[in-house]
Amino acid sequence: MKRLSILIALLCAMLSLGSPARAFTLLEPNTWPPALNPHTWPGVLNPHTWPFDLFPIPEVSTNPNGGVTYGVLLAFLFKDKQNQIASILAPDVNTDTKLGFGGTVRYFAYPSADMQWYALAGAQEKIARIVDLNYAAGRTRETRYSLEARLYFERDPTDRFFGFGNDAPESGESNYTTEQVYVRGKLGWNLSKAFQLALVARPRYVRIEEGAFTNIPQTITFYPNAKGVGGGSEIYGEARATYDSRDSVDIPRHGSLAVLYVGTAQRALLSSFSYNRMGIDGHHYWTLSPRLTLAAHGYLQYMPSGNEAPFWSRGRLGGDPSFLYDQQTLRGFGAGRYVDNNLSVANFELRTRVYELTIMNTHGVLELAPFFEAGRVFHEMSGDPFEALHPVGGIGFRGIAEPFVVGFVDAGWGGEGAAIFAGINYPF
């Protein structure tokens, strides 16, 4: 349920922060008739009296695995005493060509660099539902401990499964609805500002049902023998070691992030399946000039007992953005295009600041980011992670309201055509 208009709202915010008439300043207000000039409106009708900036945004969004959405989004931007964005309230109403009428309410809070949280809830007329609550404290690792907690529920009828393997053909496409709910918690022990040891727990309940697209075979009938097609539950636990020398958690321009993890789900611990997983996730950022940042990302995952895992827990390559084992970025394909036990991917993009302005102490940036990436999945542990890669190239458009907020639109081209993605935060 990502919306291109989120980025548009952020771009409007950056270009209009401090503007006397807020989002309504399309022409110089002093040239307007008095009845149409927001400066002259009385009381609460005057935008100067509002505790927020309001941006009504026409909404057009797309999903490589779904339909096209049209609607209207209202972006309320609240600022702190330093005139930086402290929170965003962004409700919308829309209609989707496949899922019908619906809407989503989103609230993003940025109390500080060390603490952030968000809440969103949405629904479409046909099947789709989502509730997502997330809280993170100790993000900058200045204190002894860090904590992250998330409650997530979704019913997503646009998911695809093409079968297992790096050569899974387009003709194998099938559609299903993922209904899942999970609670995820991470407790981190900060040995220093750069080093952290953490424990992660994620009990999850999953059901696989018929999808929303009747012109595509249904996964539950097309792949009746795929492990996990009947759903299941798992209590997944993980140990994680992190090294982080980035100059910013949200908008890094130099430094490194490396995450090494091992995890397991076992029937003996009340899971429906038993499997093990391990991987390494690496990021590095080079500041080439005040306007240029080269960002690189690499990910390698192995599942020694992957054949025992459900298809929705194995390596998933495709889509945007990157979420460790849940999804790895390959922006020329829809989410989950390639699925198998093991996975490798590398992503590179040149983040280029093409326009910047500072108004009332808020720094806004328009960024272009040409990118190249390639990845693959493979079944056996002995497989070569660098052969038979799927290459993708493209261009990213980013709106940044420093120090915390990034909105993106990425257009990528791969072996099966183009794909467009939009959302909040960097893809990796």
Task: Check residue 46 and give its pLDDT.
Answer: 65
Instruction: Enter the tokens of residue 296.
Output: 């690189």
For residues 124-137, average pLDDT: 96
Residues 214-244: tens digit of each pLDDT = 899 999 999 999 999 999 999 999 999 999 9
Most confident among 91-95, 344-348, 422-426 (mean pLDDT): 344-348
**CATH classification at residue 142:** 2.40.160.50
pLDDT band at 24 (very low <50, low <70, confident <90, very high): very low
Give the rounded percent of residues in the chain with a pLDDT score beyond 70: 86
Task: Check residue 19 and give its pLDDT.
Answer: 40
Return the minimum-mean-pLDDT range out of 67-71, 78-82, 299-303.
78-82
Task: Check residue 120 and give its pLDDT.
Answer: 95
For the chain, how many structural domains are there in total?
Answer: 1
pLDDT mean across residues, the chain: 87
pLDDT at 38 over 90: no
How far apart are alpha carbons 143 and 112 in whole angstroms?
Answer: 14
Amino acid at 244: D
For residues 183-202, average pLDDT: 97
pLDDT band at 67 (very low <50, low <70, confident <90, very high): confident
Task: Check residue 359 and give its pLDDT.
Answer: 52
Residues 238-284: tens digit of each pLDDT = 999 999 999 999 899 999 999 999 999 999 999 999 999 999 999 99
Return the minimum-mean-pLDDT range out of 2-16, 98-112, 170-184.
2-16
Instruction: Write the secondary structure of the chain as one string of H (helix), E (strand) and C (coil).
Output: CCCHHHHHHHHHHHHHCCCCCHHHCCCCHHHCCHHHCHHHCCHHHCHHHCCCEEEEEEEEEECCCCCEEEEEEEEEEEECCCCCEEEEECCEEEEECCCEEEEEEEEEECCCCCEEEEEEEEEECCCCEEEEEEEEECCCCCCCEEEEEEEEEEEEEEEEECCECCCCCHHHCEEEEEEEEEEEEEEEEECCCCEEEEEEEEEEEEEEEECCCCCCCEHHHHCCCCCCCCCEEEEEEEEEEEEECCCCCCCCCCEEEEEEEEEEECHHHCCCCCEEEEEEEEEEEEEEECCEEEEEEEEEEECCCHHHCCHHHCEEECECCCEHHHEECECCCCCCCEEECEEEEEEEEEEEEEEEEEECCEEEEEEEEEEEEEEEEECCCCCCCCCCCEEEEEEEEEEEECCCEEEEEEEEEECCEEEEEEEECCCC
Minimal CA–CA distance to 394: which of 329, 363, 349, 351? 349
Give the rounded percent of residues in the chain with a pLDDT score beyond 90: 64
Task: Check residue 13 and give its pLDDT.
Answer: 47
Return the minimum-mean-pLDDT range out of 16-20, 194-198, 373-377.
16-20
Residues 314-354: tens digit of each pLDDT = 999 998 888 888 999 999 999 999 999 999 999 999 999 99
234 or 65, which is more confident?
A: 234
What pTM does this model have? 0.85
For residues 418-427, average pLDDT: 84
Minimal CA–CA distance to 59: which of 99, 22, 9? 9
205: number of Cβ within 10 Å = 15
For residues 175-186, average pLDDT: 97
How far apart are alpha carbons 48 and 29 in whole angstroms?
Answer: 13
pLDDT at 402 over 60: yes
Task: Check residue 258 and give its pLDDT.
Answer: 98
How far apart are alpha carbons 421 and 409 in whole angstroms?
Answer: 6
How far apart are alpha carbons 132 and 105 in whole angstroms?
Answer: 11
Domain with 36, as residue range(s), is: 4-424
How far apart are alpha carbons 122 and 104 in whole angstroms?
Answer: 4
How far apart are alpha carbons 36 and 90 in whole angstroms?
Answer: 26
Task: Check residue 90 and give its pLDDT.
Answer: 87
Task: Check residue 233 and give its pLDDT.
Answer: 96
Instruction: Enter the tokens of residue 305.
Output: 């007992």
Minimal CA–CA distance to 336: which of 164, 155, 212, 180? 164
How far apart are alpha carbons 369 and 354 in whole angstroms?
Answer: 10
Q: In sequence order, what are the beta bridge partners of 197?
A: 189, 241
Task: Check residue 45 and give its pLDDT.
Answer: 65
pLDDT band at 34 (very low <50, low <70, confident <90, very high): low
Can you say how many angstroms the Cα of residue 238 is from the centroid of all Cα atoms in its chain?
A: 22
